[in-house]
Every structure is written in C-alpha cells, then in structure tokens.
Amino acid sequence: MTVTVDADPGPFELDVATTALVIIDMQRDFCEPGGFGETLGNDVSLLRGVIPPLQRVLAAARALGMTVVHTREGHVPDLSDCPPAKLHRGSPSLRIGDPGPKGRILVRGEYGHDIVDELAPVEGELVVDKPGKGSFHGTSFGAELAARGITRLVVTGVTTEVCVHTTVREANDRGYECLVLSDCVGSYFPEFQRVGLAMIAAQGGIFGWVAPSAALLTALPVTALEGTPS
C-alpha cells in the first residue's frame, strides 16, 4: 500500500510494507531531569513536546503493522565502547558512566538509559543500542533493515541536530529515502531545531524530506486511534 505525504521539498511516497518508523533515543537520559541531557546544562522539558505527536504516529504505525525501530544511545558498563573523544568532551556536571539519580549516566541496563514510558517498545519492535550518534555506526541497524526489505525511513526522536541528523545522513549515504517528522523531533535549542530541519530539505532535499506528523497521518489509511492523545 503506497501513500503520498505532502512534504518539503516535494511529495514523499512510501509503501508501509517497506518503510520503517525509526524513533531515535527517546530515553530518560535525554528527556527527563537527572540524565545525560541535563548534566550538559540543557532544559530537558524542551524535548517532551515531541512525545504526544510521536505517540499518535507510533499508534498508527502499530495499527498498520509497520516495522518500528527504537534506538538507544549508550555504552556497555565498562565503557569500552566509549572513546575518550566522547567521554572527555565538554564539562558536564556528571560524565558518561558516573552515578546519577537515574543510574549511571548513558550506560546500558540503567533506568535512565531506557526509553520513556509513553513510548515504551512492545513485543516485536526492534530496539537498537548504539554507542554513537548515528544509528548505523557499531550496530546491526543496517542489517536489520535489509533483512526486512526496508527502503524508506520515517525518522523521529531526539535530538534533531545530533542523533537525528547523523542517522539521516548515514541513511541517505546508504541509499535510504528519509522523511523527518518536524513535530516528532526535538532539540534543546530552538534555533537548531529550525535550522536543522531546514538543512535536511534544502537544495531539493539534500538528504531527506520534512513534513509535520499531521501530513503523514492524513496520508495513512488510519482513522482516529482510540487512547492516543490528540
């Protein structure tokens, strides 16, 4: 079933059978107080606005049986997959691996590393743990997509200018067509949100398309979904 989404810089066609919904790093460590995002001095409440529209898109994807992939940024407990270039970057109040109020910062298996309750994965959905900003680097993401015959990605999550951008650029280089949902991606910096989205669709869609989630939901053959916030 192929649908056309009204997007920037032009229509984005997708077949629900060969398109995956990708939800990047909607983890407590980025979206809730006491995690990695806050240790870097950010106002994490700025990211929480993406949760309600993302819940509606996730409900539609589930209703249609689309492939859903959740990613989580983080590291193994001994931090052997965290290069010094990342570990020592900046001057956060707590570094990756330090104990924080939600467990060790950005470490796999810790409470803060997991996905927020509102978007918790259900059985059958893929969860890809990634040590870097991009979803392809050091993961099975590409192999999992290939195994399912996925050629297009609807990309959501946080943060727009870091892990969303890196993943979309990696995906574009590997031949995937990507639609980024503007209200389902978030940044701690309003100007990065605006410019980050503009960069994707500029120059005829230099590495993707951008549309609000309403444009996708209008195109998909799903009516109002019970239990989802409107």
Q: Where are the alpha helices (DSSP H) in the chain?
A: 28-31, 36-39, 51-64, 84-87, 141-147, 165-173, 190-205, 213-219
163 is catalytic: yes
Per-position DSSP letters for 102-130, written without gaps between them: TEETTBTTSGGGSBPGGG---TT-EEEEE
Instruction: Report how far residue 165's alpha carbon sits from residue 156's, in angstroms, rounded to the nearest whole number.
Output: 10
> Which member of 7, 16, 66, 163 binds ligand C5J (CB under 6 A)?
163
Binding positions for ligand C5J, 69-98, rule CB under 6 A = 73
- Contact status: 50 vs ligand C5J (CB under 6 A): no
Residue 184 bears catalytic tag: no
Binding segment (CB under 6 A) for ligand C5J, from list 43-51, 156-164, 177-185, 190-198: 156-164
> Residue type at 175?
G
8 has catalytic annotation: no
Q: State which residue, 25 or 32, has the beta carbon closest to ligand C5J.
A: 25
**Pick the catalytic residue: 114, 130, 133, 178?**
130
Report in angstroms how near the CB of residue 158 gets to ligand C5J at its nearest.
Answer: 5
Interacting residues of 201 by C-beta distance below 8 A, sequence separation 6+? 7, 8, 9, 208, 209, 210
- Footprint of ligand C5J on residues 183-222 (CB under 6 A)? none
Q: Which is nearer to ligand C5J, 130 or 152 (CB)?
A: 130
Residues 56 and 48 sit within 8 Å (Cβ to Cβ): no
Instruction: Determine if 162 is a binding residue for ligand C5J (CB under 6 A).
Output: yes
Say if strands 2-5 and 152-158 run parallel, antiparallel, or are unpaired: unpaired
Which stretches of the chain bind ligand C5J, using CB under 6 A? 25, 30, 73, 133, 158-159, 162-163
Residues catalogued as catalytic: 25, 130, 163
